[in-house]
Structure 1
Amino acid sequence: MTTTLITGGNRGLGYEVARRLLDAGQTVWIGSRDASAGQEAADGLGAHFVQLDVTDDASVTSAVATIRAWVGHLDVLINNAGILGEVAAPGDMTADQLRPVYETNVFGLVRVTRAFLPLLRKGTDPSVINVTSGMGSFALTHDPARVESQYTLAAYGSSKSAVTMLTTQYAKTIPEIRFNAVDPGQTATDFTGNVGQTVAEGAEAAVRLATLGPATPTGTASDRTGTLPW
């Protein structure tokens, strides 16, 4: 049975992905910084809970130890945890405004991925799915027909550009594990102010990749309709 960990899995897209993967027969661990919210979400879904703050080394190390003790391996890691951060005009933005966004969206992803590599290497057809965004795409943020071009989110967008590039670098250098990036698109959750497509639609790309098993590709970036323009 496939064992999957979803960071930030207690609400929104992470919660929907967890629900869908449980329905597909996977064993799902919900990682959440908020222990109360995470446990409640896991109990409601029939998932497992592990306290996991992607910005904290000790928390990540403890989460690895918990899953190692319970399962001994990990098949799929979904790096879903992310924040929008403070929205500021690029010309006025300070490094201090940028730092917390990168700490969660970029450094947190690196911290979690590195820590779980030993358990992933013990898994069956192991893969890492990194949640990126069209806001990190040059093509989409310059296309007037796309919603991404309507927003100026320098901190968030640039952090997601980094997520996509990190994904390609992992894929090139760790061939025994499949690494892919997925863009949920603008999805109606608390994160977007409930604007956009349904949560079910937003979850499709991650769910598809998480259920491909030995057919999982590596080094790709996609949304629910296909390849994500870069």
Structure 2
Amino acid sequence: MTTTLITGASKGLGRETARRLVEAGHDVYVAARDSERGRTAARELGCRFVELDVLDDGSVAAAVEEVGRESGGLDVLVNNAGITGGTVAAATTTADHVQRVHSTNVLGVVRVTHAFLPLLLRSSSPAVVNVSSGLGSFAVMTDAASPWSAWKGLSYASSKAALNMLTVQYAKNFPQVVVAMATAGADGPTGGFFDASGRAPGDGRTRRGARSGGTVFRRGRRLARPAEVCCGQR
């Protein structure tokens, strides 16, 4: 059985990803900083809960110790936790605001990945999936024909661009670990899974179950539901 941990999994895309992976037969850890909401999600989904705040070294270390003690290792890490930082005009965006968003969306991923690497390396087929967004794509954001290019916020888009490069560099440095980037669904601007070699081939239900987008995208004139972004359901 594959053991998977998903950060920020008490609600939204993280929770829906957890639900689908439980259906696919994974032993799933819902990792969240809100213990009450996280325990409720884990109970309703039929999986485990571990308290984890991506901003806190001690919290992450305790989560690693708990997962290691209970499961002996980790096969899949899904770095889903992230914040948008709200809609703030460029003229009023401060260094503190950028730092707050990057602390979660970039440094949080580094903190969690670094801490869980020893457990991942015990697996015969370890994988790390970083949840990104089309807003982090240089190609999309500089394409005048793309509606996404109208986004002018500084903090979130730059954090996802940084995450994309982190993903590429992790893949180079840990060839024994499948390091992939998940973006919005197949009809999103950069939908799919990507690794250091480019677009990664699909591998059936497990990969579809892990697919998750960093932002909600539109289907026609309405916002997509988490199940649609995560799993391509309509």
Which TM-score band applies after superposition, normalised by the shorter structure? 0.7 to 0.9
Residue 225 of structure 2: which of 177, 198, 208 is its match?
198
Provide the residue aligned with 1:124 in structure 2: 124
Partner amino acid for 1:31? Answer: A
Following the alignment from structure 1 to structure 2, what is the Cα–Cα distance between the partners of residues 32 and 200?
19
Following the alignment from structure 1 to structure 2, what is the Cα–Cα distance between the partners of residues 123 and 67?
13
Q: Could you state the TM-score of these two structures normalised by the residue count of structure 1?
A: 0.83
Q: How many residues align?
A: 202
**What is the SS of the residue equivalent to 1:28?**
strand
Does 1:49 pair with 2:49? yes
Counterpart contact for 1:10–1:38, Cα < 8 Å: yes
Provide the residue aligned with 2:157 in structure 1: 157
Provide the residue aligned with 1:13 in structure 2: 13
Following the alignment from structure 1 to structure 2, what is the Cα–Cα distance between the partners of residues 13 and 23?
15
Partner amino acid for 1:7? Answer: T
Instruction: Please provide the CA RMSD for this pair.
Output: 2.0
Following the alignment from structure 1 to structure 2, what is the Cα–Cα distance between the partners of residues 201 and 155?
26
Counterpart contact for 2:184–2:217, Cα < 8 Å: no
Following the alignment from structure 1 to structure 2, what is the Cα–Cα distance between the partners of residues 113 and 90?
31
Provide the residue aligned with 1:208 in structure 2: none
Following the alignment from structure 1 to structure 2, what is the Cα–Cα distance between the partners of residues 95 and 197?
32
Matches within 5 A, 1:14-33: 14-33=14-33
Provide the residue aligned with 2:34 in structure 1: 34
Matches within 5 A, 1:122-201: 122-184=122-184, 196-201=223-228
Counterpart contact for 1:42–1:48, Cα < 8 Å: yes
Following the alignment from structure 2 to structure 1, what is the Cα–Cα distance between the partners of residues 65 and 125?
21
Counterpart contact for 1:127–1:177, Cα < 8 Å: yes
Deviation of the 1:153 alpha carbon: 2.0
Does 1:92 pair with 2:119? no
Following the alignment from structure 1 to structure 2, what is the Cα–Cα distance between the partners of residues 94 and 47?
40
**What is the SS of the residue equivalent to 2:50?**
strand
Q: Deviations over 1:196-223 (max 9, x none)?
A: 3232221138xxxxxxxxxxxxxxxxxx
Provide the residue aligned with 2:61 in structure 1: 61
Following the alignment from structure 1 to structure 2, what is the Cα–Cα distance between the partners of residues 55 and 118?
20
Which runs of 4 or more aligned residues in structure 1 lie more than 6 Å from their structure 2 counterparts after TM superposition?
none
Q: Which runs of 5+ in 1 are unaligned?
A: 206-230
Deviation of the 1:55 alpha carbon: 0.3
Deviation of the 1:91 alpha carbon: 3.4
Partner amino acid for 2:4? Answer: T
Following the alignment from structure 1 to structure 2, what is the Cα–Cα distance between the partners of residues 192 and 198?
8
Provide the residue aligned with 2:79 in structure 1: 79
Following the alignment from structure 1 to structure 2, what is the Cα–Cα distance between the partners of residues 193 and 128?
23
Percent pairwise identity: 48
- Shift in CA distance, 81/21, structure 1 to aligned 2, threshold 3 Å: same
